[in-house]
Structure 1
Amino acid sequence: MTDDIYSGLKQLGGATTLPESPDQAELERVRNPQADVLYNVRFTAPEFTSLCPMTGQPDFAHLVIDYVPDAWLVESKSLKLFLGAFRNHGAFHEDCTISIARRLADFLTPHWLRIGGYWYPRGGIPIDVFWQTGPMPDGIWIPDQGVPPYRGRG
C-alpha cells in the first residue's frame, strides 16, 4: 500500500477546528485498498451531542454506524469533526440521526450502511432512531450494535 491514496486529505495530521455546523463540516474519503472484499466497518460515538431546537438544552446519544464500503472509506478524523459539529446544532433526534446517515451514504456510496441512534431520555422517554440503505448483505459478519434496550442505559 502506498501513501498516495492519502495525499488529498486536508484535515488528518494537522491542526483543525470544530466546524460551526454540520453543513460546514467537510467529510473526507480515501480509496478503499480492499474494495474487492466485502467487510463491515463500525464507528461508535458514545458521547454524541446536539441541541434541542426548542429549548436549546443538550441532547445525548450513543451512535453506531455500520457500513460495507465499496470504492471509498470515510476518513475518521473528518467523521469525528462532522459529528462534533452537531454539538451546537439544534435539531430533533430523528433529523440528526437520518441526516448523518444520508450524508454518509451519499458521500461514500457504500454497498450498505446503517445507523442506530440510541438517544438518552428526555422527559423519561428515550427516542431511538434506526435507518439503513437496504437489506443487510449476505455473507458478511455484522454484529449486533450492542446497545442494550433502555433500562437506565448505563
Structure 2
Amino acid sequence: MVTTDTSHLTQLGGPTALPASPEEAVLERVPHTHAGERYVVRFTAPEFTSLCPMTVQPDFGHLMIDYIPGTWLVESKSLKLFLGAFRNHGAFHEDCSVYIGKRLAELLNPEWLRIGAYWYPRGGIPIDVFWATGPEPKDVWIPEQGVPPYRGRG
C-alpha cells in the first residue's frame, strides 16, 4: 500500500474557516497513487447552497461530480470548504455549476470530469446544468448519476 504525502496540505488536521468566496477558496490536491488504474471518483453534495444574484434569496441544489483521475485527486476537505463558500455567493445556477467544474478540471487535469447540478425550482422552474471536459469514456464504468428530474408534489 502506498502512503500519500499530505505534508503540503494546509486545511487538514484542525478547524478551518469557511472561505469568504469561491474565488478565495483554496482547493488542494494529493497525488493519485494508483497510476495506470482507471476508475471513477464521485462526490455528491445534496445540500449545496448559493444566493440568487438578483434577489439574494437562497438557492438549493444537488451536485454530483464524477471524474477519472489523471495524476491528482482532490482533497475532500478542501472541496467541502470550496463548495461551502458558495453559501454567501450570488450567481446564477449555470455560473455556479460551470465554475465548479472548471476549477476542478484546472486543479486536477483529470482524464475526464463531469458535473451534474440539479437545482430546485426558482420562480417555479427547476434548472439542471450539466458540464463535462469531453465525451464520456466508453471503456470505464461510469454509473448514472441517478438524480430524477424534479417532479414537485406530483
Following superposition, the deviation at residue 88 of structure 1 comes to 0.2
Aligned counterpart, 1:69: 69
What percentage of aligned pairs have identical amino acids?
72
C-alpha deviations, 1:47-97, integer Å up to 9, x for none? 000000000000000000000000000000000000000000000000000
- Give the partner amino acid of 1:27: L
Following superposition, the deviation at residue 138 of structure 1 comes to 2.2
Following superposition, the deviation at residue 42 of structure 1 comes to 0.3
Aligned counterpart, 1:2: 3
Aligned counterpart, 1:18: 18
- Residue 132 (1) aligns with residue 132 (2): yes
Aligned counterpart, 1:143: 143
Using the alignment, how far apart are the partners of 1:35 and 1:14 within structure 2? 30
| SS of 2:100 mapped into structure 1 | helix
- Residue 48 (1) aligns with residue 74 (2): no
Structure with the largest fraction of helix: 1
TM-score between both structures, scaled by the size of structure 2: 0.96
Following superposition, the deviation at residue 114 of structure 1 comes to 0.2
Q: Runs of 4 or more off by more than 3 Å in structure 1?
A: none
TM-score between both structures, scaled by the size of structure 1: 0.96
Unpaired segments ≥5 residues, structure 2: none
After superposition, residues 55-134 of structure 1 pair within 5 angstroms as 55-134=55-134
Using the alignment, how far apart are the partners of 2:41 and 2:62 within structure 1? 17
Using the alignment, how far apart are the partners of 1:85 and 1:97 within structure 2? 13
Q: Say what the alpha-carbon RMSD is for the aligned residues.
A: 1.0
Following superposition, the deviation at residue 139 of structure 1 comes to 1.6
Q: Number of residue pairs matched?
A: 152
